[in-house]
Structure 1
Amino acid sequence: MSDIASTAAVDDRIGRPTGGRPGLTLAALGSAGLVVSLQQTLVLPLLPRMQREFHTSVSSVAWVFTATLLAGAVATPLLSRFGDMYGKKKMIMLTMVVLLVGSVICALSTSLGLLVAGRALQGASSAVIPLAIGTIRDTFPRERVTAAIGVVSATLGVGGALGMLVTGVVAEHTDTHRPVFWISAAMALVGLILVILFTQEAGVRAGGRPDIVGALLLAGFLVALLLGISQGNDWGWSDGRTVTLFGVAAVLAVVWIMVERRVAEPLVQLRLLAGPQSLSANIASLMLGFALFGSFSLVSQFIQTPEEVGYGLSGSVLDVGLYMLPSTITMLVFSALAGPLEARLGAARTMALGSFVAALAFVWLAVNHDSGADLLIFSGVQGIGVGVAYAALGTMAVQHVPMDQSGIASGVNALVRTGGGSIASAATAAVLAGQVIKDTGVPSVDGYVICLFFAAGAALLASVLGAAESMRQRTP
């Protein structure tokens, strides 16, 4: 290649191309992120229907959702590391193919076990978001990086709310779960084509080898922890099986940390997980993941609960999506405004502001849940808070790390966020299963209120962490 061509293709300081079409690239990456986040919540309005179809319990059917988050928590740091090693575009394409295959398996499934397996494959696609953020940092002009990261980060919330609306529309005209997965497969294919056509490979390759042992230990830890949480009410919290699972989780966590500290090329660099520049962003991500994914599950079930039991809205699957529509709209609008807000306040303070607004929304719904208007107010306000907070969180995750580690840094942040969502899914299912109306299997309203206050507390903690980090950064 000639010197002129080399200069046109790559900025020799940071490995960033100076040409390209940032608008089309952002559209492709945003579409891929939207499809991935959409599939995470696609099943939530259908869980009551699946519970009846497969003749299973609330805690068991919850694994249709939890398995996706669990697989994402394990696959995200591994594929993000692969992105830094082999190229982020290649890994985004691979994850979209895995999403496509998982969607087809779910569409063809005839048993709960096969459905959970397909959902696990879908969950591996969660790595698309951090890989997309790394790609933006590698390829976009400096002045557009913050806003572009905000757009992609916000697809997590937008797609989650939109997924329930899509499911509601489809479920209104069908009596099975299969059509929504065919839609997911088609959208994955479109996203894959857009990524192939409009993204480019760039950035410094980190090299190295994958930490397979670390990935297996992390998977074992998360499976043991979440299985213990989800089955605690059914087995008993002092039952030997529950205690054993928590013990195994603790041991695996310790072993995993020891391995990650000693291996030359760890799956998760602990300084990116708990270092002084990353800890606040990662704990905030954990809390926001817990709050957001917990609320998706709670709201879906609450809306569909028959009013005859003393609460609920007797809503349909479509109603779930419609009630969450204000959240989709406000997330779209305010995630776009997050970039200018970050420029004025900084990423940490912007994240703190968004998290505080989200906490107010959860408190509102915990106290006011008697009418559809209460749900609509919650949905709109939550969308504002989450849209701003998630957009800023994407910037916080990568702003202090070298360019060749942007993928894994964003991946670690996504790991803890997905881990928070996994814990929320299992924990809320456990609380609702333990708070039931006498002589029925229906959760009491108190169970929902408890879970919503937990979500509010998690979002509030994220806000406090963001404010503290902002003050720390301003201290000389």
Structure 2
Amino acid sequence: MFVSTPSSTVRPNAVLAVLASAGILAALMQTLVVPLLGQLPQILHSTPSNTTWVVTVTLLVGAVVTPVAGRLGDMYGKRPVLLASFVPLVIGSVVCATATAVLPMIIGRGLQGMGVGIIPLGISAIRDLLPPERLGSAIALISASLGIGGALGLPVAAAVVENSDWRMLFWGCAVLAAVVGVLIFLVIPHIPTDGPAGRFDYLGAVGLGIGLVCLLLAVSKGASWGWSSTTILGLFAAAIVAILIWGWYELRTSQPLVDLRVTARPQVLVTNATSVVVSMAMYAQALLIPQLLQLPKSTGFGLGQSMLAMGLWMAPAGFTMMLMSPVGARLSAARGPKFTLAAGCVVIATGYAISLLVMGSTWGILAVTVTINIGVGFAYGAMPALIMGAVPHSETAAANSFNTLMRAVGTSISAAIVGAILAQMTVSVGGHMFPTENGFRVGLLIGCGVAIMGAALASAIPVQRVLTGVAPRPKVASKV
């Protein structure tokens, strides 16, 4: 129990349930449109190349908004920024539900992408609201909400698309976002900030946004636009220049968007590097396995599942990730989050190794996805703990948001690599081009190798205590 201050009260179980629901909803946005991708050109009367922006824009906006939301949360309080994050989520869902052309759909999906900041804000709020003895398991649970949200998205969206009007997907999201926003308003108390709000770093936000958009756009569109094209090379060059200028500016401003000196602390720096690698390993199987499940059996190795069946085969992995989060928390309490992160990477690598032996079996693939997601659950629960163990309390939201950004960079790189491999290694079956079995094996081997690299990086994290003199976290009253 906390000693009280102000008139705030905390109900730990309710807080955890609401923040986990918010994380699930934010993660749900990422896979929501996957079952629609093949139909979008007809639905929106546009070309396939234009409709791919329905996915790309969510990634780009989420990457830019996440560090901004984290910094605003540290400055003005996590509760108001959490509430504000649901406004574009609701509006974007309504815009998508009423869209009849590609441009409104892209705008709506961009607004939905602004909700990604909910996840790191929720993780950092947990540090303020829950007793220390519950902190580890709570962080692991919120992190695992990423998995269950992504896992739920595929079967739910597929079921709606196959049996109802596709617009119901977005109307449902609008209602859910409004409900969770109201629950946050009712359940999450005011969290005191560490002193005056200070000045928001607008130039830093613009500079980072330009650099991220150029980088992620080049990575995500390289395969379709051509890696050696003038546009892609120009985007990479612009990203490098923008990020270097941004870093120079951030080191010289008194109130930066991202405190690079804190980010450069060895524990934070190596953890963020590991986050990129772990996210690459996580996303590789999320791209490869669904395709493998849906490829026709006439290819000789495809499993011939429908979109809905594929989603149902993938769903248990997300639930397993959440169910195993308390195990990861206990492991971190006993051996430290560094050990849990390294162990998670080893489990991920084991899952990929198994996949090379059971590619032709749906039950074998189920075992693979469950194994990999157990490892991802361990890793994703340990990373925020390592970050918050190395930064001042006043920067927890910004630091967690930057870590979430590193995960987004990792997933983008993974998508580019896997996409390039499958595009290059193809075979013609019945007049249609499909990725080859060797293409999938190469992708799975890369996932295994990247996971092993993550274990090596995690083992090298130099864990240190937070410097003395860091402001203690504010106390709020606790009520079970």
Is 1:8 the counterpart of 2:4? The answer is yes
Give 1:317 deviation, angstroms.
1.8
- Contact kept, 8 Å, 2:344 with 2:379, in 1: the verdict is yes
**For residues 142-161 of structure 1, what are the structure 2 equivalents within 5 Å?**
142-161=132-151
Check 1:147–1:235 CA distance in 2 against 1; reply closer, same or farther (3 A cut): closer
- Contact kept, 8 Å, 2:216 with 2:409, in 1: the verdict is no
Q: Which moved more, 1:58-67 or 1:223-232?
A: 58-67
Q: Which runs of 5+ in 1 are unaligned?
A: 1-5, 11-16
- Contact kept, 8 Å, 2:45 with 2:102, in 1: the verdict is no
Check 1:395–1:328 CA distance in 2 against 1; reply closer, same or farther (3 A cut): same
- Contact kept, 8 Å, 1:45 with 1:300, in 2: the verdict is no
**For residues 43-192 of structure 1, what are the structure 2 equivalents within 5 Å?**
43-50=33-40, 53=43, 61-174=51-164, 177-192=166-181
How does the TM-score come out when normalised to structure 1?
A: 0.89
Residue 187 of structure 2 corresponds to 198
**Cα deviation 1:298-352 (Å, max 9, x = unaligned):** 3333322222334322222211221112202311211122221111010110111
**For residues 173-252 of structure 1, what are the structure 2 equivalents within 5 Å?**
173-174=163-164, 177-205=166-194, 207-252=197-242
Residue 13 of structure 1 corresponds to none
C-alpha distance in 1, partners of 2:3/2:332? 31
Amino acid at match of 2:446: F
- Contact kept, 8 Å, 1:237 with 1:243, in 2: the verdict is yes
Query: Quick one: which of 325, 329, 351 aligns to 2:319?
Result: 329
C-alpha distance in 2, partners of 1:421/1:235? 19
- Contact kept, 8 Å, 1:435 with 1:446, in 2: the verdict is yes
Check 1:428–1:212 CA distance in 2 against 1; reply closer, same or farther (3 A cut): farther
**For residues 199-348 of structure 1, what are the structure 2 equivalents within 5 Å?**
199-205=188-194, 207-348=197-338
**Cα deviation 1:49-100 (Å, max 9, x = unaligned):** 4366568787765443332222211111101110111110001111112111
C-alpha distance in 1, partners of 2:33/2:291? 12
Q: CA RMSD in A?
A: 2.5
C-alpha distance in 2, partners of 1:73/1:425? 15
Check 1:430–1:263 CA distance in 2 against 1; reply closer, same or farther (3 A cut): farther
Check 1:447–1:60 CA distance in 2 against 1; reply closer, same or farther (3 A cut): farther
Q: Which moved more, 1:81-90 or 1:48-57?
A: 48-57
C-alpha distance in 2, partners of 1:366/1:60? 35
Amino acid at match of 1:96: F
C-alpha distance in 2, partners of 1:273/1:57? 42
- Contact kept, 8 Å, 2:8 with 2:190, in 1: the verdict is no
**Structure with more helix by fraction:** 1
Is 1:443 the counterpart of 2:435? The answer is yes
- Contact kept, 8 Å, 1:168 with 1:318, in 2: the verdict is yes
Q: Which runs of 5+ in 2 are unaligned?
A: 466-480
Moved over 6 A (4+): 55-59
Is 1:420 the counterpart of 2:406? The answer is no
Is 1:409 the counterpart of 2:399? The answer is yes
C-alpha distance in 1, partners of 2:420/2:43? 21
Q: How many residues are aligned here?
A: 461
**Cα deviation 1:394-423 (Å, max 9, x = unaligned):** 211211212111111111111111222233
- Contact kept, 8 Å, 2:26 with 2:116, in 1: the verdict is yes
- Contact kept, 8 Å, 2:279 with 2:408, in 1: the verdict is yes
Query: Quick one: which of 369, 373, 383 aligns to 2:363?
Result: 373
Check 1:58–1:38 CA distance in 2 against 1; reply closer, same or farther (3 A cut): same
Give 1:168 deviation, angstroms.
2.5
Amino acid at match of 2:247: I
- Contact kept, 8 Å, 1:58 with 1:433, in 2: the verdict is no
- Identical counterparts, % of pairs: 37
